[in-house]
Structure 1
Amino acid sequence: MALDASAEKENELPLTETTAPQPASPTPSSRQQWPNSQPLAEEGPSSSTPAPSKPQLSARATQLYTVSYLIFFAILGTLARLGLQALTTYKGAPVVTGVLWANVAGSLVMGFMIEDKALFREEWDCAGPTPSDAEDAAEHAKKHKATKKTIPLYIGVTTGFCGCCTSFSSFIRDVFLALANALPDPSLPAGTANAARNGGYSFMALLAVLLVTVSLSLSALVFGGHFALAVSPFLPTLPFRFTRRVLDPVAVVLGWGCWLGAVFLAIWPPDRHEGQDTWRGRAVFAIVFAPLGCLARFYVSLLLNARVPAFPLGTFAVNMFGVVVEGMCYDLQHVRGLGAVVPAALTGCQVLQGVMDGFCGSLTTVSTWVAELNGLARRKHAYFYGITSVSVGLGLLVVIMGSLLWTRGFEDPVCG
């Protein structure tokens, strides 16, 4: 059973960033999208005065709900990634690249959401019984997938949670550190350098991190899709009215409220004593910067992904930009006098860690990347896209991080 086979046939990428919400389309389709928008319509003038067009009202509502879901799920996805990294970093861990399992988990959820046919069955014009004819059923499934990409909640889960739970910049950073024999080993005492090794071992370490991450993430994506198809008959369907009238407004409060609360915690922490506020650098600064990276990825992908069908330019651009920022922040954090050694640099070191974990981790994505690799129409396009992304990203870090590592060396950051 091939994952998203219809997307491969139609050269359609199976992810939300490739299809923008279309609330501003002509009136009939807009009415399909927002059939319960009566409260918005009632805000207009009386019947004697021409009412404002529903597409404009629907566009504002859709944008507000989509952004709110992205903010809220970006925070959840970032926290999930940090939590999985903490759980998998321990002495004797068989895998020392902590972001591996976060990438696998986000890819699995992405595959599930792409293939799910139950949760959003009542949305707009996809409601109703499944056609019995094979051709009609395929057309119905295609329409359902296209419709899901315009649902704010679906965009929030896939682009927000899955995209922020996974991190392409952290993945490429670990590939470089494995190549440079600088990947932290939790089994060694703090401050202990890895044992010296020759170039052949370094190349094998690079392949280990690269192949294990890509293969497991792709496998998780496919398994998530198969699991969605298997449990589809048993999954409940989200009621349309409940989603529109309850979940969407609640997402506005939760999304913006959680983000604002994180900003307040970062500015005015409850305890500023040294050694007792390190949680700010591990979580709070990350969730302050995470929504910025998620929103930037979403809009850049909308702008650029559809321009070259065989090469998702938007995802490639944000992944490469995130890798550059990740490398620069890592250098600043590991150079003496800025993020390393000097105790007074604790807050600056934590901010840099927040930028790497929050902004870069949410700006870049592995779940969307592997979904694009799996969904491109031709295998040669997928191989070219995948190899180019890894090669360019690693080359950038060789220049940015390698220039410091192989001249002055990395110092241990004061924030750990």
Structure 2
Amino acid sequence: MSEPPTSHDNLVHLEHEYELENLKEVEREHSAHRHSHITIHSSYLVLLLSFVFFSILGTCIRLGLLAVFAYSDSPVASIVYPQIVGCAIIGFVNVYKSEITVGYYPLYIGLTTGLCGSITTFSSWSLATFKSFMSPSPGIGYQIASFLALIVSTIAMSLISADFGRHVGEAAGPLLYKKRRSPFIGVNMAPRTWLPKELAVLDAFFLVLALASIGTSISLGFWNSPHSDLMWALVLSPLGTLLRFHLSVLNSRMPAFPLGTFIANMIGTGVIAALYLYSASIAGSCTLVHGIANGFCGCLTTISTWIVELKTIPSITKAYIYGLASTVGGQILLVLIAGSPLLFRPHGSECL
């Protein structure tokens, strides 16, 4: 005959029921957050304005970093520095994705797709890696070492920078937001007309910034001809960002292999390879070549988004496949398109 439950047994039973109920509540909240979408009232035109401003700003930052760190005794190649800065920024911004998106969606898209995507560049990095292998050296071993060093250092520093930005963002959380919003997995953008009564203050602010940045960029070419290549780079940069933004809709079709980012990086690398071939074969002005390579290709391709995708793909095996396919694919395009001029002209392109 079993003994009647004691008060201690009843207490343990109640504690187990309480813990079980808490676990169920946490799971319900987690499931709701995981499957939640939010609706944002915004205009496609406002997104375009944010792309214009942040693309031009990002291109200026990238070209400035390349110019500052392009000296002979630099510890790493100058192309690494823009990737460090862009990945650190996107790591920081993604900590506050929910808050920025709900507060003003074009700002989040502008900071990530526009600014970080324009500071970092996959095409110029691929070209620099290709040139490090094809450049004259004492032996093939030096070429292979230089080639691998630039690949490993860029990817490693980009991954570390993204984590560093995230750490800074998490540490600064209590100072920036007293109450954090729950995460969500998607945004439904409700269209908003461009009527004055529906024009937000930030919309008007971005309109002014976009017009001012375009006007300043064009004025560089008219008033100071030595900077006409910079003018073309700045003017063409929003076109690259916009194309990348539209290609990003393909990413959801293959979550383990973001097709949109991959296609954008391959197109940009192919174009810059063709520019390298053109400039190495035909003597002439480098103005437009610089403009397309640094502006359109530089903003069409991105390392910051690529790094975030590598870190968020659930399967480590599939992440390696995606990373290797992108890296190797870019080099194959460069060899197929731009390999021939270096075989006949060891010094390569006069422009790139």
In 1, Cα distance between the equivalents of 2:253 and 2:112?
21
**Contact between 1:118 and 1:236, CA under 8 Å: does it hold in 2?**
no
User: 1:226 aligns to what?
Assistant: 167
1:31-57 per-residue CA deviation (whole Å, 9 max, x = no partner) reads xx34xxxxxxxxxxxxxxxxxxxxxxx
1:298-348 per-residue CA deviation (whole Å, 9 max, x = no partner) reads 01112x11111110000000000000001111221222xx3x3xxxx33xx
**TM-score, L = length of structure 2:** 0.79
In 2, Cα distance between the equivalents of 1:204 and 1:105?
25
Q: CA deviation at 1:118?
A: 8.6
**Contact between 1:118 and 1:232, CA under 8 Å: does it hold in 2?**
no
Please list every run of 5 or more consecutive structure 2 residues that lacks an aligned counterpart in the other structure.
1-29, 32-36, 179-198
1:203-252 per-residue CA deviation (whole Å, 9 max, x = no partner) reads 11111000000000000001111110001111269xxxxxx732222102
1:81-124 per-residue CA deviation (whole Å, 9 max, x = no partner) reads 000000101232222x3221001100000000111279538x36
Q: CA RMSD in A?
A: 2.3
User: 2:228 aligns to what?
Assistant: 280
Q: CA deviation at 1:410?
A: 4.3
Rg (Cα) greater in structure: 2
Q: Secondary structure of the residue that 1:406 maps to in structure 2?
A: helix
**Map of 1:1-400 to 2, 5 A cutoff?**
30=39, 33-34=40-41, 61-95=42-76, 97-116=77-96, 120=100, 123=102, 151-181=105-135, 196-235=137-176, 245-263=200-218, 265-266=220-221, 269-271=222-224, 277-281=225-229, 283-302=230-249, 304-335=250-281, 338=282, 340=283, 345-346=284-285, 349-400=286-337
In 2, Cα distance between the equivalents of 1:391 and 1:108?
25
Asked if 1:406 is matched to 2:343, the reply is: yes
**Contact between 1:64 and 1:252, CA under 8 Å: does it hold in 2?**
no
In 2, Cα distance between the equivalents of 1:92 and 1:401?
28
In 2, Cα distance between the equivalents of 1:69 and 1:80?
16
In 1, Cα distance between the equivalents of 2:71 and 2:49?
35
**Contact between 2:264 and 2:300, CA under 8 Å: does it hold in 1?**
yes
Distance 1:117-1:368 versus aligned 2 partners, 3 A rule: closer
Distance 1:91-1:407 versus aligned 2 partners, 3 A rule: closer
**TM-score, L = length of structure 1:** 0.67
Q: CA deviation at 1:352?
A: 0.5
In 1, Cα distance between the equivalents of 2:202 and 2:112?
16
Q: CA deviation at 1:259?
A: 2.1
Q: CA deviation at 1:411?
A: 5.5
Aligned length: 298
Identical positions, percent: 36
